[in-house]
Amino acid sequence: MEKLPLSKAAEFLLDECRMVLPGIQALFGFQLIAVFNDGFSQKLDSGEQRLHLVATALVAIAAALIMTPAAIHRQAGAEHVTHAFIRSSSLLLLCSMLPLGLGVCMDFYLVGRLILQSDASAWLAVALFAVFAILWGVVPRLYRVKQEPASRK
C-alpha cells in the first residue's frame, strides 16, 4: 500500500468532510423545520419533543465536528500540513459519526412511532443504529485488516 504525501492526505480528508457536510446540513434543516409544523406539538408528547431536540443537538454537534478540520487548516496555516493535523482531523471526522448516527436513529424512532404507532419503532431504530455501527465501524476495520497483510509484501 502506497503512502500519500501529507498534502494529498489533507486534501482527501478535507474533501471527505466537504462531501458529508451538505447531507448533515440538510438533515439539520429538516429537523429545525419539523418543530414549526402544526403536527409537531399535536402528534409528539413533551418527552418525544425533547428527544427530537436531543437528536437535533447531536446532528449539530456532528456538523461542528465535521467543520473543525477546515477551521484548523485555515487558522493554523493552510500552507503547512502536519501528521498531527491529519491524525486529529481524522479523529474529528470519525467522532462525528457517533452523534450523527444517534441523532438520525432518534428521529427515525420518532417517525417510526408516528407511522407504526407501536414499540416496534424502537427496535427498528436500534436495528438502524446496528447498521450504522457495522458499516461505519466493522466494515472499515475488516478492510484495514485485509489490507495490512498486502502492505507487508
Side chain identity at residue 103, one-letter code: G
What are the b/e assignments for 57-75, b being 16+ CB within 10 Å? ebbbbbbebbbbbbebbee
- Contact (CB, 8 A) for 34 and 40: yes
Q: What is the pLDDT of residues 54-101, one digit of tens each?
A: 999 999 999 999 999 988 888 877 677 888 889 999 999 999 999 999
Domain ranges of the chain: 6-152
What pLDDT band is residue 151 in, cutting at 50, 70 and 90? low
What pLDDT band is residue 43 in, cutting at 50, 70 and 90? very high
> What Å distances lie between residue 153 and 2, 5, 77, CA to CA?
12, 21, 37
Q: What is the pLDDT of residues 7-34, one digit of tens each?
A: 888 888 889 989 999 999 999 999 999 9
For position 145, what pLDDT does the model report? 87
Terminal CA-CA length for the chain: 9
Q: What's 38-67 look like in SS3?
A: HHHHHHCCHHHHHHHHHHHHHHHHHHHHHH
Mean pLDDT, residues 101-108 taken together: 97
Q: pLDDT higher for 106 or 76?
A: 106
